Amino acid sequence: MNAAKTPDPVSPLADIGFYIDVDGCEATARAIDFVLQKLPVRDRWCVEFGAGNDSHGSTTHRLIAGQDYSAVLIEGVPEKCRYLHKLYENNRKVLVFEKFVSFHPEDKDCLDRILSGTPVPPDFDFLSIDIDGNDYHVWNAIRQYSPKLVMIEFNPTIPPEVDYVQPADASVNFGNSLAALVRMAKSKSYELIGVIGVNAFFAHREYYGFFGITDNRVEALWTKRDCVTHIFSGYDGRIMLSGCQKLPWHYSIPIRESKMQVLPGFLQKYSFTRRDRNLFMLLSEPLNFGKKALRRLLNIK
């Protein structure tokens, strides 16, 4: 039996993790170049939101500046949008919109509506989604466009087996699990082809075969899971941690095992009795425990 084929470790699509000593933006740019070169035909259109105000960090700037790509760039923050207007003021192939993309398909600011007023073809080459939270919902809301390739941010602290979607709320910045994005992508005829840092790459099923991948499970392609913190408990009730044990977006503030304990030390024991449980409830929720004890005493249901 032939072994399942996954991206070569030296491939631009090989995962690099989050805590890395290389330029993550450069690694992402190389991966984008690599996946685009795999396409049998290209229309040289790309779409990015939020596009930001950093040409080095932009996922589409190299395509625009070096590969003659036309682009639609969408950014909701006014000062960042002004930067984009200034950067591309002499490039008629770049359309800049100051908008926050909606995740409701019927809204005037959903991606379908925004792109409908542009020359972007329905199966344009490359879509980049990085809005720090509602990425899942804005992609899910797209109905009229099927880009050949999609790059989308996910929350790398969520383990690969967890299917988590954050609330569809513009004020929330939780992020979504890779497993949830893969599930939704399959419903839209996309397949996972690689992971670079916090970005997942998907190819429309029509083009998936050009990547030569036969095992595209999350566990096979997302290999450097250096942001995941695992939590588990011992038989004695002690909470233990393994893995990252840091908050990646908060200057790596440590997640301390000592702060995660549910049971006080004197109750952390294997021979835990009902009396121990009652003592814990009395200590942790005295008001609740007192009410329940009073009801039992008075035989009140």
Q: How far apart are CA 168 and CA 136, in angstroms?
A: 9
pLDDT of residue 13: 82
> How far, in Å, CA of 110 to CA of 107, rounded?
5
* Tokens linked to 127: 């879509």
Q: What is the mean pLDDT of each run of 10 residues along the chain (301 residues)?
A: 49 78 78 94 92 68 92 90 90 91 85 93 95 92 96 96 95 96 98 94 96 93 94 97 95 95 95 93 83 73 56
Nearest-5° Cα angle at 175, 45 to 139: 35
**Number of domains the chain contains:** 2
How far is 220 from 224, CA to CA, in rounded Å? 10
Instruction: Tell me how far apart the alpha carbons of residues 132 and 153 are, in angstroms, rounded to a whole number.
Output: 7
**Domain extent for 134:** 24-221
Q: For residue range 27-77, what is the model confidence (pLDDT) as tens digits? A: 888 899 999 999 999 999 999 986 665 665 678 989 999 899 999 999 888
Rounded Cα–Cα distance for residues 123 and 219 (Å): 29
137 and 261 both lie in a single domain: no
Q: Would 162 be classed as within a structural domain? A: yes
Question: Are 155 and 238 within one domain?
Answer: no
Domain match, 238 and 208 both: no
Place of tokens 């250096």: 226
Which burial class, exposed, middle or buried, applies to 197 when counting CB atoms under 10 A from its CB (0-12, 13-18, 19+)? Answer: buried
**Same domain (yes/no): 176, 289:** no
- The pTM for the full model equals 0.89
Q: How far apart are CA 270 and CA 259, in angstroms?
A: 21
In this predicted model, what pLDDT tens digit does every residue of 125-134 receive, in sequence order? 999 998 889 9
